[in-house]
Structure 1
Amino acid sequence: MTPPSTEPKAALTCHWSDRFVSAATKRRAQGQWRYRRPLATSHGDFAGNDYLGLASDPRLAEAEAVGARRYGSGAGASHLVSGHRDVHERLEHRLAEFVGRPRALLFSTGYMANLGTLQALCDSGCHVFQDRLNHASLIDGARLAGARSRRFHHGSLEDLGRLLARAPIDAPRLVVSDGVFSMDGDVAEIGALADVSARHGAWLMIDDAHGLGVLGPHGDGCVGHTHGSDRVPVLVGTLGKALGTAGAFVAGSEALIEHLIQFARPYVYTTAQPPGVAAATLAALDILAAEPERRERLHDNIAYFRHEAAQCGLPLLASATPIQPLILGDESRTMAWAMKLREAGLLVGAIRPPTVPRGEARLRITLSARHEREAMDRLLESLVNLAREEQS
């Protein structure tokens, strides 16, 4: 019989502290350490995803308060136990109608929606083909499923077709792409992706997190009613960006949604979305339909900002969406610019590897319908001054 260890307990567990220190030291040395900075106000915010300015709309706050008073501050259980309320049911119906699908299913976050969908659809026998610039949640979802995953060159239909042609003909195949790419702001060629997928017998899944509420004739995104369930069988959308609340949904056929309800573990084992948030999202959908001028103002702001940036010689990436990246390349330079902008009262996202490829560190400027031209002009002037300071 082995005698019990006499080694101090601290000695048995100290390796965890060593691991933390080692990881932190490495990340700091790479210039990739991240910080959280509490904000008292959203003034000067060019970093968030509140594209239509709905997050601070008092009508949403009131709808959420009314919902909380009626149903309570939390759902109290998962959807499959007792957390699924009539307000959730109404929201799912509205979302399905909004994007032209038979059914929709609520998730607590967009990350969970992608994890749950890929985990439920795929297994080790499934072949998944993803754009290289897909969001981390899509990459992680395929890994969680244990699927055989290949990544095609960004936006390359030729590379995708070549990879699909190599896959076993009898294997389930799923093509996955962002609708709007969150770091570059460009839009996927949905129609062409659907054509290539159909030609090779693959399903197509689009995460339209940054297109929903922004693109499309009615704000239904870059997929919506334009590309139906036969073309894009799996559509994911988030509620915490243009709609100004929180959570996400998956929309598709009756069979798809029932499959997710039964097999998507992040859905099955998570407490349902707070009912007040669902009520606020219903209010957001009402406002989106009644006030198209919000989208018009947003796109006017995008056009104005891009025109003025070009006049100032600021080399923005080609993007017709609210995401306007300014590539600076060097990570320390990117952080220095972001810090100086913050000191001037302007909050801009500083994006570094591993979120973007090495050598492509950038300022990720995001525009909103609530931005006034005076604020955009102040940001542009500050960016020009930073460039001049480097040259002097």
Structure 2
Amino acid sequence: MLSEMKEIAKQKLKARKSEFFSEYPDVFNKMYNFTRAKTAKALRYYPYFLKIQESDTTEVVIEGKKVLMLGSNNYLGLTKHPEIAEAGIEAIRRYGSGLTGSRFLNGNLVLHDELEVKLARFVGKEAALVFSTGFGVNLGVIATTVGPGDLLFSDELNHASIVDGSRFSRAEIIRFKHNNMKDLENKISAADKTKGRFIVVDGIFSMEGDIINLPELVQIARKYGARLMVDDAHSLGVLGPKGNGTAAHFGLTDQVDMIMGTFSKSLACVGGFVAAEEPVIDYLKHHTRTMIFTAALPPSNVAMVSKALDIIEKEPWRRKKVLENAAYIQKNLKKMGFNIGMSTTPVVPVIIGEEMKTFRVWKDLFEEGVYTNPVIPPAVPENRCLLRTSYMATHIQSQLNFCLDKFYKVGKKHGIIT
């Protein structure tokens, strides 16, 4: 019955195309011609949108099979913390499920303001502004900060949200080689001195797992009159003496003008924020379209993030443990002969290179009980396809050893290691 309905729909679509688009180009053609995902599914190499049926954070169940989760950004293992869950439930009881409007108008709770004070204190800035998504922070803040007539300097491996925020700003975008401060200085020193300068970088790069060379970067920013924004999406909870980010990690908080962060990694929820001087935040609050024209973050999310911050501060063992787990994995993958790039954080890429080989390795690891994230262009450069793995404070030693055993077995099979 279902196949008959699909065939009827297909015939109707064909007739409609013949009637309305015989003389004009159809913008849907690229969609009708997209077959890559269907082909991958038919070959059983499709690794995306897998349906997770159960989760205890370090292990998940997919299609009835339990696998070790190495694809999550839940670095501190807080997503099922009972205090966080209870904070969300209590906020729902008090305020309801959502706010049905933007913070600018009817959706601003005392909870939002309290969280902003707490976030600003946590990262060492005067003020903060909470958004409904991390992507929305970068998209809106970058486009509000710079525009036509300004220069925006961006690391070539910055996150897609930074890339899109840069495009949206309509500033002149100048990309520099990944974490290459000499290349940045060459480009910023030669740039138009009459234009404003803004540098945006990731703290921890989401695919490479390395840390921005912030000490040299802040020197360049000050030397050439540039403002600096650091995206700490993957750094909060991981870097810094209290998990308070990249700038704190290097003792350079006062040298970074804007600190951006998300709630969807170590803070175990969803949403994002930016922190800076109070006048800067006040301006962003009244001009940033992705905050003004987006429904406010629901009460439960705000309460859970606030509680997560409390737990990060009172349970420092989580930050220490996730770094220990990452170092153990890095050491042993390197010892086996895997290329993990320059990773020094819980984000550990296993660089394979060729796209189809990456999918084959992903599939074999999955069948062996290990969940990883295959990453292909444009998320990474051509011929640098990789499996992105990430580790949690709550991964236990036996799970890490299981992971290493499976990587060794699959790596040998595909000739990645000898």
TM-score of the pair, normalised by structure 1: 0.93
Which of 102, 109, 119 is the equivalent residue of 2:143? Answer: 119
Aligned residue pairs total 384
Q: Report what 1:160 is aligned to.
A: 184
* Aligned residues of 2:361 and 2:414 also touching (Cα < 8 A): no
Amino acid at match of 1:321: T
Matched, 1:177 2:201: yes
Out of 218, 228, 240, which is 2:253 matched to? 228
Compared CA separation, residues 286 and 359, structure 1 to 2 (3 A): same
| Deviation (angstroms), 1:25 | 5.0
User: Residue 136 of structure 2: SS of its match in structure 1?
Assistant: helix
Aligned-partner Cα distance in 1 for 2:101–2:150: 32
Partner of 1:3: none
Superposed CA RMSD: 2.1
Q: Is the 8 A contact 2:260 2:275 kept in 1?
A: yes
Structure 2 distance, partners of 1:387, 1:286, is 41
Residue of 15, 37, 53 corresponding to 2:26: 15
Partners of 1:162 and 1:306 in 2: CA distance: 33
Pairing 1:196–2:212 present: no
Q: Is the 8 A contact 1:329 1:360 kept in 2?
A: yes
Question: Residue 301 of structure 1 corresponds to which residue in structure 2?
Answer: 325
CA 1:283/1:13 → structure 2, altered by over 3 Å: closer, same or farther?
A: farther
Query: Match for 1:218 among 238, 242, 246?
Result: 242
Q: Residues of 2 paired with 1:256 and 1:152: CA distance?
A: 26
The residue correspondences of 1:45-56 to structure 2 (distance < 5 A) are 45-56=69-80
1:380 equivalent to 2:410? Answer no
2:127 is aligned to: 103
Give how far 1:310 is off. Answer: 3.1
Q: Which of 54, 61, 66 lines up with 2:90 in the alignment?
A: 66
Using the TM superposition, give the Cα deviation of residue 68 of structure 1 relative to its aligned residue in structure 2, in angstroms: 1.0
Alignment pair present for 1:132 and 2:143: no
Q: Deviations over 1:150-199 (max 9, x none)?
A: 10011111111111112221211001111100000000011211110110
8 Å CA contact retained: 1:98, 1:224: no
Residues 82 and 344 of structure 1, relative CA distance in 2, 3 Å threshold: same
Contact 2:71 2:372 in 1 (8 A): yes
- Report 1:12-51 matches (<5 A): 15-24=26-35, 35-42=48-55, 43=59, 44-51=68-75
1:311-350 equivalences under 5 Å are 311-350=335-374
Cα distance change of structure 1 residues 34 and 172 upon mapping to structure 2, 3 Å threshold = farther
Percent identity, aligned pairs only, is 34
Distance 2:37 2:331 in 1: 40
Q: What amino acid does structure 1 have at the position aligned with 2:31? A: F
Query: Helix, strand or coil for the counterpart of 1:170?
Result: coil
Moved more, 285-294 or 306-315: 306-315
Match of 2:166 among 130, 142, 151: 142
State whether residues 179 and 212 of structure 2, in contact with CA within 8 Å, keep that contact through their aligned partners in structure 1: yes
Are 2:290 and 1:266 aligned? yes
Moved more, 311-320 or 52-61: 311-320
For the Cα contact (< 8 Å) 2:37–2:46, is it kept in 1? Answer: no
**More deviation, 17-26/42-51:** 17-26
Contact 2:47 2:374 in 1 (8 A): no
CA, structure 1 residues 53+134, in 2 after alignment: closer, same or farther (shift >3 Å)? Answer: same
| Pair 336,346 (structure 1): closer, same or farther in 2 beyond 3 Å | same
Task: Describe the superposition over 1:304-339 as per-residue Cα deviations: whole angstroms up to 9, x where unpaired.
Answer: 212222333333223220011111111111111111
**Does the CA-based 8 Å contact 2:322-2:392 persist in structure 1?**
yes
For 2:253, the aligned partner's letter is G
SS in 2 for 1:336: helix
Distance 1:23 1:256, change over 3 A: farther
Contact 1:314–1:384 (CA under 8 A) maintained in structure 2:
no
User: Aligned in 2, Cα 1:164/1:40: closer, same or farther, shift over 3 Å?
Assistant: same
Aligned residue for 1:4?
Answer: none
Q: For 1:319, give the aligned amino acid.
A: S
CA distance in 2, matches of 1:142, 1:109: 17
- Aligned residue for 2:236, secondary structure, equals coil
Deviations 1:338-380 (A, max 9, x none): 1122122211011111110011111111010011111111111
Q: In 1, distance between residues paired with 2:27 and 2:35?
A: 12
Gaps of 5+ in 2: 1-17, 60-67
> Which piece of structure 1 moves more, 282-291 or 40-49?
40-49
Counterpart AA for 1:55: T
1:227 positional shift: 2.1
Q: Residues 193-233 of structure 1, C-alpha deviation per residue, up to 9 Å, x if partnerless? A: 1110110011011101111110100100111482234x111
The structure-2 alpha-carbon separation of the partners of 1:84 and 1:224, relative to structure 1 and needing over 3 Å to count, comes to farther
Cα–Cα, structure 1 residues 365 and 124, in superposed 2: closer, same or farther, change >3 Å? same
What is the alpha-carbon distance in structure 2 between the residues aligned to residue 345 and residue 386 of structure 1? 12
Give 1:22's aligned amino acid: N
Q: In structure 2, how many angstroms separate the alpha carbons of the residues matched to 1:296 and 1:381? A: 24
Deviation at 1:388, TM superposition (A): 2.1
Q: Which moved more, 1:177-186 or 1:154-163?
A: 154-163
TM-score normalized with structure 2 length: 0.87
| SS of residue in 2 equivalent to 1:79 | coil
